[in-house]
Amino acid sequence: RTLLYVSVVVVFSYFTAFMETLTISSYPYYDFEDRTLAYTVGSAFYGIYFLVSFPAFFVFDDDIDNDKSDAATKTVTLWDTFVSSCGH
C-alpha cells in the first residue's frame, strides 16, 4: 500500500509538472531555448514541488469525512500546525 501511494505521488507529480510545462509553451510570449530539456529535466525539477505538496494536501484534509462534532472537538496545537506545514 505504501509503495502504491509513493508511486502514484511520483507519477502524478511528474505528469502535472510536464503538462503545465507543455501548456505554457503555447503561450505566445513564452519561449524555451531547448524544449526537450525543458520538458524532461525541467519538468522533473518542477515536479519536486508536487512531491511535497500532494501529500501535504492529503494530510490537511485528514478530517474532511469526519462528523462535524468530532472535528470541532479536536485540539490543534502549535506543534501540529508546524508539522503539517512541513508536509508531514
Please give the distance of CA 8 from its chain centroid, rounded to a whole number. 11
Q: Considering the entire predicted model, what is its pTM?
A: 0.63
For residue 85 the three cell numbers come to 506545514
Handedness of CA 53, 55, 58, 62 (dihedral sign): negative
C-beta separation of 34 from 24 below 8 A: no
* Start-to-end CA span in the chain (Å): 18
- Structure-model confidence comparison of residues 74 and 55, the more confident one: 55
Question: pLDDT tens digits, residue range 18-64?
Answer: 998 888 887 888 777 888 888 888 888 888 988 888 877 776 666 66
Average pLDDT of span 69-80:
67
Supply the pLDDT for residue 69: 55
Q: In whole angstroms, give the CA distance from residue 88 to residue 53.
A: 10
Supply the pLDDT for residue 54: 81
